[in-house]
């Protein structure tokens, strides 16, 4: 595995500026997630590293070597695509062995067999190796698609929302497995997702990308606790951070126009808080409840203890506890 550096890369498609001055380093053995909404430029970033697109400006280095002008085949990256496609007429084994059989690689048949079996075991598809790719469930196909990349030992694995087509349960399982495998292999992974849970749980660092710009990069904890602006703050946290006019509260710092209040910044009681709100709706999710409030015409969503006997129409009192503050442009203001 190797360190991969994206240095001041920009890329436009016609009038669309897909990436603007992106710089990012994925350390050897590191798991970095690029988190951003649709159209943010995530896939474009991966395609540039893989050599499937050429940057307008900037360069790409793998293991210290400038590969910007190199063909994809000379870059030694493995790509798991957003829309995975297996060879339907081939078995799972043959699908996974495919890249190892490239004539330039000259991997011995016994080694191919051993490698495919090892990766199939990691992914829990070892009993499916003789199945045709079409004789699999969606989740199994997705595992094969990941397995096809894992049989190789490239400089970096580029993974483009590899779990997005799966149901929630399977996504949760594979998330754990993928992280375990990455640690086991010491793999370098750049993983693209718009799922905050995947980014939070698997990555050692998260890059938050929006509109082709990398807004912030840091550990999941840094990004969550110390977002540089309101966009980044809204990317992580369930329910989403509540962005409220600062004017509704007393004692906010100079320049603060917006208060960012996550669940942990809000204490809800019957009375004795700073401001009053009305309970509009309580969503019971089993282990927790989402409390939907109306605060001076603004929606506020927060977690509540399922035991707390709030109901629609109740008046409650909110108290802020070290929330985040943002200025008129959405940039962070010190408390
Ligand atoms: N080949 C292309 N031709 C024209 N525009 C493109 C092309 N590829 C990407 N774009 C545009 O560049 C922007 C970034 O696209 P990209 O595919 O990188 O987004 P993404 O973050 O991967 O989004 P998603 O989460 O929907 O996959 C989008 O506005 C997209 O429409
Ligand atoms: Mg994409």
Q: Dump the DSSP string for 173-223.
A: HHHHHHHHHHHHHT--EEEEES-HHHHHHH-SEEEEEETTEEEEEE-HHHH
What is residue 137's three-state secondary structure? Answer: coil
Task: State which ligand 1 atom lies nearest to the alpha carbon of 82.
Answer: 27
| Helix intervals (H) in 13-137 | 42-50, 92-97, 109-122
Mean pLDDT calculated for residue range 224-236: 97
Taking the centre of ligand 2 as the mean of its atom positions, its distance from the CA of residue 263, in whole angstroms, is 30
Please determine, for residue 103, whether its predicted confidence score (pLDDT) is greater than 80: no
* Confidence (pLDDT) at 30: 97
Mean pLDDT calculated for residue range 177-201: 93
Pair of tokens at residue 147: 């397995």
Mean pLDDT score across all residues of the chain: 93
Nearest Cα residue to atom 25 of ligand 1:
38
State how far the Cα of 230 lies from the Cα of 323, in Å rounded to an integer.
Answer: 12
Nearest Cα residue to atom 1 of ligand 1:
13
Mutate to test the pocket of ligand 1, among 15, 17, 18 (most ligand atoms within 8 A of CB): 18
Taking the centre of ligand 2 as the mean of its atom positions, its distance from the CA of residue 161, in whole angstroms, is 7
Residue tagged 């894992």 (tokens):
150
DSSP, residue by residue, 57-80: EEEEEETTEE-TTS-GGGT-EEEE
Is the Cβ atom of 13 under 6 angstroms away from ligand 1? yes
Is the Cβ atom of 302 under 6 angstroms away from ligand 1? no
What is residue 268's three-state secondary structure? Answer: strand
Taking the centre of ligand 1 as the mean of its atom positions, its distance from the CA of residue 153, in whole angstroms, is 28
Is the Cβ atom of 194 under 6 angstroms away from ligand 1? yes
Class of CATH domain 4-234: alpha beta
Taking the centre of ligand 2 as the mean of its atom positions, its distance from the CA of residue 19, in whole angstroms, is 13
Tell whether omega for the bond before 239 is within 30 degrees of 0, i.e. cis: yes
Rg (CA), the chain: 23
Q: Where in the chain is the domain with CATH 2.40.50.140?
A: 241-333
**pLDDT one-digit tens code per residue, 275-318:** 999 999 999 888 888 999 999 999 999 998 777 788 999 999 99
How much is the pTM?
A: 0.92
Classified by CATH at the fold level, domain 241-333 comes out as OB fold (Dihydrolipoamide Acetyltransferase, E2P) (2.40.50)
Nearest Cα residue to atom 28 of ligand 1:
39
State how far the Cα of 232 lies from the Cα of 243, in Å rounded to an integer.
Answer: 12
Pairing of strands 189-193, 156-160: parallel
Q: Which of 212, 186, 267, 153 is nearest to 15 (CA)?
A: 212
* Confidence (pLDDT) at 53: 97
- Report yes or no: 319 and 267 within 8 Å, Cβ to Cβ: yes
* Confidence (pLDDT) at 306: 72
Please determine, for residue 17, whether its predicted confidence score (pLDDT) is greater than 90: yes
Mean pLDDT calculated for residue range 193-206: 95
In order of 33, 41, 149, 243, 254, the CA distances from 77 in angstroms are: 16, 19, 9, 41, 49
Q: Where in the chain is the domain with CATH 3.40.50.300?
A: 4-234
Is the Cβ atom of 87 under 6 angstroms away from ligand 1? no
* Confidence (pLDDT) at 109: 93
CA atoms within 13 A on the CB side of 79: 18
Nearest Cα residue to atom 29 of ligand 1:
39
Taking the centre of ligand 1 as the mean of its atom positions, its distance from the CA of residue 7, in whole angstroms, is 20
């Amino acid at each position: 595995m190797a360190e991969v550096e994206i240095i001041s890369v920009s890329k436009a498609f016609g009038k669309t500026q897909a990436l603007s001055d992106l710089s990012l380093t994925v350390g050897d053995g590191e798991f970095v997630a690029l988190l951003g909404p649709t159209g943010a430029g995530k896939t474009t970033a991966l395609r540039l590293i893989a050599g499937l697109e050429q940057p307008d400006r900037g360069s790409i280095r793998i293991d210290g070597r400038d590969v910007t002008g190199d063909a994809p085949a000379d870059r030694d990256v493995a790509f798991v695509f957003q829309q995975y496609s297996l060879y339907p007429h081939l078995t799972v084994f043959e699908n996974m062995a495919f890249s190892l059989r490239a004539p330039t690689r000259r991997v011995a048949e016994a080694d191919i067999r051993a490698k495919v079996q090892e990766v199939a075991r990691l992914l829990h598809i070892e009993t499916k190796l003789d199945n045709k790719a079409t004789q699999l469930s969606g989740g199994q196909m997705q595992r094969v698609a990941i397995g096809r990349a894992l049989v190789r030992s490239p400089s970096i694995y580029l993974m483009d929302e590899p779990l997005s087509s799966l149901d929630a349960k399977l996504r949760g399982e594979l998330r754990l497995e993928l992280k375990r495998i990455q640690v086991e292999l010491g793999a370098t992974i750049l993983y693209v997702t718009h799922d905050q849970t995947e980014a939070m749980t698997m990555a050692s660092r998260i890059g938050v990308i929006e509109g082709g710009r990398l807004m912030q990069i840091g550990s999941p904890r840094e990004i969550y606790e110390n977002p540089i602006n309101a966009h980044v703050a809204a990317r992580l946290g369930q329910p989403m951070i509540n962005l409220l006019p600062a004017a509704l509260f007393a004692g906010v710092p100079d320049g603060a126009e917006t208060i960012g209040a996550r669940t942990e910044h809000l204490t809800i009681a019957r009375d004795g808080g700073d401001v009053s709100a009305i309970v509009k709706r309580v969503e019971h999710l089993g282990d927790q409840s989402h409390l939907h409030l109306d605060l001076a015409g603004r929606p506020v969503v927060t977690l509540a203890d399922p035991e707390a006997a709030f109901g629609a129409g109740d008046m409650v009192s909110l108290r802020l506890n070290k929330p985040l503050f943002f200025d008129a442009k959405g940039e962070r203001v010190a408390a």
